[in-house]
Structure 1
Amino acid sequence: MKRHIKFISIALATMFTFSGNLVSAYALATSADSSSNFKYGMGNIDSDMEPTLDRDPDKLSSSSYDLPKSVDLSLSDYFPCIRSQGQIGSCTAWASTYYQFTYEVAKLNSWNAKNDPDKQFSPKWTYNFINEGEDNGSSFQDAYELLSKQGAVRYSEFTPTGIDTESEYRTWYLNKDNMKKALQYRVSEYRYKAFSSQEDETPITSPNSISLLSMKSLLNAGKVLTVQTYGRGLDYQKLKNQYNSTLNNQFVCTKYSYVEPSGHAMTIVGYDDNITYDLNGDGYIQDYEKGAFKLANSWGTSYENGNDGYIWVMYDALNKISNAQNQNVKGRTTIFKYYGYAYINVEEYPLNLIAEVTIDQARRNELRVDLWQSEISKDIPEIYKTTFLNGIGGEYNYSGLSANPERATFVFDYSTLCYSQIQRQKFHVSVRDLGTQYNTFVKSIKLIDKTGKIVVNDNINDTFNNKTKLYSYAIGMIGDVNNDGCIDSRDITDLQSYLSGNIDFTSDDMLVADVNGDGKISVNDVLDIQYYVAGFTDSFANGHFVKLG
């Protein structure tokens, strides 16, 4: 059985920094499909997972099927304009990051992202990180995991050119400041669903078929969906005699039949139950000849068989076996692989505590970094682990163009790793050199809270090969005097009792009680905590966290 992946509040978020120049290429990215000889990129690769059947017996009844006849989320200001992936096999990143992630983050913030590259997210960022350094496509599983751990940089910060060069698909984005900004918004949940059982070969017989309910309900609720489909073997026809004359002469896909491997990813942005196409050619419209999904493609706005960058897909094309016998040609199967579709939720993260780890390496596939959290009494981490940089990126340095050692800073978000308030705990970073040929040099580790305070500044200067090094730091929360995971009136009481001589403080108690950072405990610290508890301030002069002794 293959794995089904679900990401909920994923903890780790990792970034990179490197001194380098970025190339702005808006014109190339938007006009790359203007040549008649242009090669359109595809590149979707199946993930090691399978969709779960989307069936809720309490909701899937004929009486509950009360949805609008059409929805079009591409008209929303949240949905970005159509652009082209060019010659690069980055369609998965375009569907997941540029279209879907941009839309969800824009909706979260009420942004107008339609034509604003500063409010759109870069598919090049995602693709280059998950493609192992080669232009051979990528999977949704890897894309969503990256978006859950790191978020994405803006389109304006890492703009695709669409030109088939090694630097275009191999270079990692390494600007630390923008990578920190990317940590703010991330995928918090990812669902991969199937609209029907794999054994059902003709699950859709009309626009009211129960198999359509979940997808249409999600679209009606404002969710855009991604699908694995095909770039070749699609049968395009022109619509005519439509209820809305503006639809006439638009292209609609009526079926898929296998011609050669051609994995491609697209984004479902809407549906229209009123669209019709006479599939069996008898001059009449049956129920199964009604309805189509609207998909956003990433081949620009002027490619052949495209409707300004979008395509319609008849509901019947989702069937493995068509309701119309003449549509059951050799090699036909469902146009949505495995009857599957995916949707995401995104969240804004507070970034309470991040770790900046600066490392030199000549081969990015020889580097593995693990982030840990444990009880303060534990010298060896044993809880809340997540892995990053597990030998990914191919045999290249961080910029992807040579084997020369490079320095980069990886930025992890610790604050979502734990599932409770941060108390006095140990935070660990383990760095592993997976190879034998090139040394790993750990330059430094910094822990920084959201006020910008550097809680830990560890200049390590550690060189090693084919081994793992563990770096651990005991951290306490400023103001949490009684160490119960929250700051409230009980901390005020304990601090007052200490000043009155009624209780003793340990050295760690003293560190977290010094909320104004003046090096001593006084009534001023009591007042500062009182202001905090009353809601007059949201942080202390001494920051949020402190390194314990």
Structure 2
Amino acid sequence: MKKILQVIGVLALAGALNVLYVNMSSLSPNQGRATGLKEATPEELKKLKKVKIKKIRANKLALERINSERRERGQAPLPEAPAGLPEYETEVSPEFGASEPTGSASTSSDGSVFGATLPTGVDNSNLVSFPVIGDQGTQNSCVGWSTTYYLMSHEVCLTLGCNNKTSRTKVFSPRWTYNLASDGADGGTSFEAARGITEKHGAVTLSELPYNVNDYRSWDLNPEHWRTAISWRLKSSSMIINNDAGIAMAKEWLTNGHVLNFGTYIFSWTYNTIKTNPNASSNPFVGQKIATYMTGSKQGPHAMTIVGFNDDIWSDINGDGQVDAGELGAFKIANSWGSSWGNSGFMWISYDAFRLATAVPNMLVSRLPILAAQGLALAQTYTPYTPKLLMRFTLSHLARGAIMLDLASSSSSTTTPQTYWRPGALYMRGGYYAFDGSTSREVDGTFYFDASDLLTTSLDQLNLQNFYFLYVDTYSGNPLTIRSFELVDPASGAVLASSGGLPLSIDNARNQLIVGNAISPPPTPIPTPTPTSTPAPVVDTQAPSAPMGVSALLATNGKGRKAAVAVKVQWSAASDNVGVSKYLIYRNGVKVGETTSLSYSDGATVAGASYSYQVTAVDAQGNESLKSNSVTISR
């Protein structure tokens, strides 16, 4: 009899899970949405992991939140943190050498480290510093929205105390970051490329550079914007949040009022609704949508922002009707798909979805953790900043993606650079277009870069240093022209020194300009030792061929009655004069995903329905092929 009851219990659980899977799939709100996170290369991952947060101390806001709950429980409030200790400490990956300024300089007292003391939940989207939900529309600019519109706007006003709910004077433009960090085609960009922009150059506000869903190519050519953007430079670090220790650290960071960026594959999410937790004192989020894990292949790489958490949220992930410890808790996520998506533009994601291995018992569904980039979450903070020295230069080129710039300095006793500073912009970015995004004519661009890290003396002792403008053109047949190069006092705007012998042009070569005590003769181009091959034409207008041989079949994940059914679409490779970069998948005429492979698994279908699929090919310039043949399949 006991065995019979066990079998009945297992069958009932499997049946419940089967219903659960269908219900969650039907909740999918992602059809036809734009994403845009480029997968991090191994080299980019190393850079993103360069500075890791290793310790967080409760700041004033965190103590207010913690002590508010402690008072409600009748507990004594915690004391303020010892003076002089940093809010957080970092460590630098050994391969990058020295520690960062926020490193382990103050570790004598851990009295202000969180430990096990955390509030039940926080929601930083309710702080006045966090902007209202935005909408990227059909543009693949999610990285610009998550890093710049959400995180940067919030962190700046978290520090300064400004209100981003009622004013846009400190809401920063996703267009600035996306257009500078991408390749000139609407193919998305990476976190590392965006970090290079906000960390090295800052950003301009939305009022200075409004979002334009149809413009992903032109750069902001207002020199004053480049100068003022420098004051908003952010400081970057990261943490791994794919285990319980990392989840706890993320909660500490959020309790201090900060937010985090992370990458995921949103088209592969599985959804549920929040249930009543009988062990919680209140259940204000019952009925809201929650993502609990991923299934199938990784589809829809997308950048998002973690804004809060709640430990009492319960989603019945395994469908057994019991509150399991591994099912408790969720992060609150801000998306850039407008307020009609999810829970008024937000979504809950269970803690378990972040774990590499599930902590939920009796999981009969094959699941994947929800994080991209090896579980990495990106943190950036703002400290009021005034540059000490600026470099201003004017140049022109018909193929900005062929430009490689570096700044450097040395003592005045040598003409060999000793300290280097590499920008995030104007270093193989933007594709083969002019600065305004055109392909028919080159235009001048005047830019300001922050040279403070190169300054070892005071401004009145610049004669003790040499400053270098190192530039490379990798495109044969379209010269790079340098029209001016100046050192500028940030406070007065006065030109402190400038280079003579300009304008100067080079073609598929490298050169350097030097401003300082040692210089005089006009610079002479230095031929590139090993000339690079001529890149692809300035503009590629030829679309790939349509994919052929599209077929569809039903595939299952898992075993037995709980097996989750997905539609697997397959096709033959398309051809292109340059190369195919990705494929777009359309279900019933609506785009549902994209991939770089020759197959796609669609888990967001329901039994009893028929679906028609078509596929298109897209090249690096965004040229999309005609749609393939249509294939229809019934569930």
The alignment's TM-score, normalised by the length of structure 1, stands at 0.71
**1:115 positional shift:** 4.0
Aligned-partner SS, 1:374: strand
In structure 2, what is the equivalent of residue 177 of structure 1? Answer: 224
Q: One-letter code of the match for 2:433?
A: Y
Distance in 2, Cα, partners of 1:39 & 1:279: 27
**1:475 positional shift:** 7.0
Query: Percent identical across equivalent pairs?
Result: 29
Aligned-partner SS, 1:148: helix
Q: Deviations over 1:211-238 (max 9, x none)?
A: 4221111111121111111221211222
In structure 1, what is the equivalent of residue 619 of structure 2? Answer: none
Q: Check the 8 A contact 2:283/2:313 in 1, yes or no.
A: no
Distance in 1, Cα, partners of 2:305 & 2:421: 33
In structure 2, what is the equivalent of residue 71 of structure 1? Answer: 122
In structure 1, what is the equivalent of residue 37 of structure 2? Answer: 44
Distance in 1, Cα, partners of 2:429 & 2:171: 26
Q: One-letter code of the match for 1:39?
A: G
Q: Deviations over 1:361-383 (max 9, x none)?
A: 11112222221111011123232
Distance in 2, Cα, partners of 1:327 & 1:96: 34
Cα 1:171/1:287, change in 2 over 3 Å? same
Distance in 2, Cα, partners of 1:87 & 1:142: 21
Matches within 5 A, 1:218-237: 218-237=253-272
**1:244 positional shift:** 4.1
**1:287 positional shift:** 1.6
Distance in 1, Cα, partners of 2:477 & 2:323: 67
Cα 1:468/1:336, change in 2 over 3 Å? closer
In structure 2, what is the equivalent of residue 289 of structure 1? Answer: 327
In structure 2, what is the equivalent of residue 467 of structure 1? Answer: 509
Cα 1:335/1:365, change in 2 over 3 Å? closer
Residue 406 in 1 paired to residue 402 in 2? no
In structure 1, what is the equivalent of residue 386 of structure 2? Answer: 350
Aligned-partner SS, 2:486: strand
In structure 2, what is the equivalent of residue 138 of structure 1? Answer: 189
In structure 1, what is the equivalent of residue 302 of structure 2? Answer: 264
Q: Check the 8 A contact 1:427/1:475 in 2, yes or no.
A: no
Distance in 2, Cα, partners of 1:391 & 1:55: 33
Distance in 1, Cα, partners of 2:159 & 2:477: 46
Cα 1:347/1:63, change in 2 over 3 Å? closer
Matches within 5 A, 1:2-41: 39-41=32-34
**1:327 positional shift:** 4.1
Higher relative contact order (CA 8 A, sep 6+): 1
Matches within 5 A, 1:273-288: 273-288=311-326
Distance in 2, Cα, partners of 1:149 & 1:475: 27
Q: Check the 8 A contact 2:130/2:153 in 1, yes or no.
A: yes
2:207 to 129, 152, 156: 156
Aligned-partner SS, 2:45: coil
Aligned-partner SS, 1:446: strand
**1:395 positional shift:** 1.0
In structure 1, what is the equivalent of residue 523 of structure 2? Answer: none
Distance in 2, Cα, partners of 1:475 & 1:293: 56
Residue 377 in 1 paired to residue 408 in 2? no
Distance in 1, Cα, partners of 2:404 & 2:55: 41
Matches within 5 A, 1:429-508: 429-449=469-489, 450-458=491-499, 460-474=502-516
Q: One-letter code of the match for 2:405?
A: V
Aligned-partner SS, 2:262: strand
Distance in 2, Cα, partners of 1:396 & 1:260: 32
Q: Check the 8 A contact 1:256/1:335 in 2, yes or no.
A: no
Distance in 2, Cα, partners of 1:379 & 1:191: 34
**1:326 positional shift:** 5.4
Q: One-letter code of the match for 1:453?
A: A
Cα 1:334/1:382, change in 2 over 3 Å? same
Q: Check the 8 A contact 1:86/1:161 in 2, yes or no.
A: no
Q: One-letter code of the match for 1:462?
A: L
Distance in 2, Cα, partners of 1:266 & 1:314: 15
**1:427 positional shift:** 1.3
Cα 1:118/1:290, change in 2 over 3 Å? same
**1:421 positional shift:** 5.0
Q: Check the 8 A contact 1:352/1:415 in 2, yes or no.
A: yes
1:318 to 354, 368, 374: 354
Aligned-partner SS, 1:143: helix
In structure 2, what is the equivalent of residue 546 of structure 1? Answer: none
Q: One-letter code of the match for 2:350?
A: M
Q: Check the 8 A contact 1:231/1:263 in 2, yes or no.
A: yes
Q: List alignment gaps of at least 5 residues for structure 1.
A: 1-35, 197-202, 205-209, 477-549
Q: Check the 8 A contact 1:73/1:222 in 2, yes or no.
A: yes
Residue 117 in 1 paired to residue 168 in 2? yes
Q: Deviations over 1:78-129 (max 9, x none)?
A: 1111001111111111111111111111122211112422210111111111
Stretch deviating more after TM superposition (86-95 or 106-115): 106-115
Cα 1:405/1:341, change in 2 over 3 Å? same
Distance in 2, Cα, partners of 1:161 & 1:132: 17
Cα 1:141/1:381, change in 2 over 3 Å? same
**1:142 positional shift:** 1.1
Distance in 2, Cα, partners of 1:329 & 1:127: 37
Q: One-letter code of the match for 1:293?
A: F
**1:279 positional shift:** 2.1
Cα 1:473/1:102, change in 2 over 3 Å? same
Q: List alignment gaps of at least 5 residues for structure 2.
A: 1-28, 57-106, 519-635
Q: Check the 8 A contact 2:435/2:445 in 1, yes or no.
A: yes
**1:289 positional shift:** 1.9
2:138 to 52, 73, 87: 87
Distance in 2, Cα, partners of 1:471 & 1:130: 26
Aligned-partner SS, 1:333: coil
In structure 1, what is the equivalent of residue 553 of structure 2? Answer: none
The alignment's TM-score, normalised by the length of structure 2, stands at 0.62
Q: One-letter code of the match for 1:288?
A: G
Aligned-partner SS, 1:49: helix
Aligned-partner SS, 1:384: strand
**1:391 positional shift:** 2.5
In structure 2, what is the equivalent of residue 539 of structure 1? Answer: none
Residue 191 in 1 paired to residue 237 in 2? yes
Cα 1:391/1:339, change in 2 over 3 Å? closer
Distance in 1, Cα, partners of 2:122 & 2:397: 50
Residue 417 in 1 paired to residue 454 in 2? yes
Q: Check the 8 A contact 1:39/1:86 in 2, yes or no.
A: no
**1:408 positional shift:** 0.5
Q: Check the 8 A contact 2:241/2:354 in 1, yes or no.
A: no
Distance in 2, Cα, partners of 1:384 & 1:171: 28
